Amino acid sequence: MEIHGTVVPKLDRDLLEKSGIDIHTYDALLHVFEAGKQGVRMADLAAAVVISKSGITSLVDRLEAGGSVQRNPDPDDRRATRITLTPLGEETFRAAAQVHLASIEAHFASLITDEEAQVISKTLDRVRCDGETQA
């Protein structure tokens, strides 16, 4: 918790100062970007981004109003909505990704060896999967 409380605010500050978006916005744009042209279902985005359901709705509202994302009906489920990036949203994400990667390097990756990074990665993968065997 201490590491999270130390590193994440630095990543957030760097994103805000250098790209104009906060870390929650970056996280949402990342998931929409990774979903590709078909977009991501709003429910799946809410589950993936680490903020409340009302928070993700407000965030998507702001992103849509700013022209970074658009809501589209899900062709497979009329009750669902898919979120896709606009060209402006993709441009914003790509610029922020460069800032975020540099920030991760500065505040975390540069402070550990390659061997330590491998151990951390394997350990956190195991924890993320709750002890299930990794393929």
Per the domain annotation, does 133 fall within a domain?
no
Task: Specify the CATH number for the domain of residue 112.
Answer: 1.10.10.10
Per the domain annotation, does 21 fall within a domain?
yes
- Distance between CA atoms of residues 91 and 106, nearest Å: 23
- Cα torsion 103, 16, 12, 37 to 10°: value is -80
Range in 52-56, 95-99, 105-109 the model is least confident about: 52-56
The count of domains in the chain is 1
CB 26 within 8 A of CB 63: no
Q: Does the pLDDT of residue 119 top 90, yes or no?
A: yes
Per the domain annotation, does 135 fall within a domain?
no
Per the domain annotation, does 134 fall within a domain?
no
Residue 31 lies in domain: 2-128
What is the pLDDT confidence band of residue 131, given thresholds at 50, 70 and 90?
Answer: low
User: Residue 38 is which amino acid?
Assistant: Q
Q: What is the mean pLDDT of residues 27-42?
A: 96
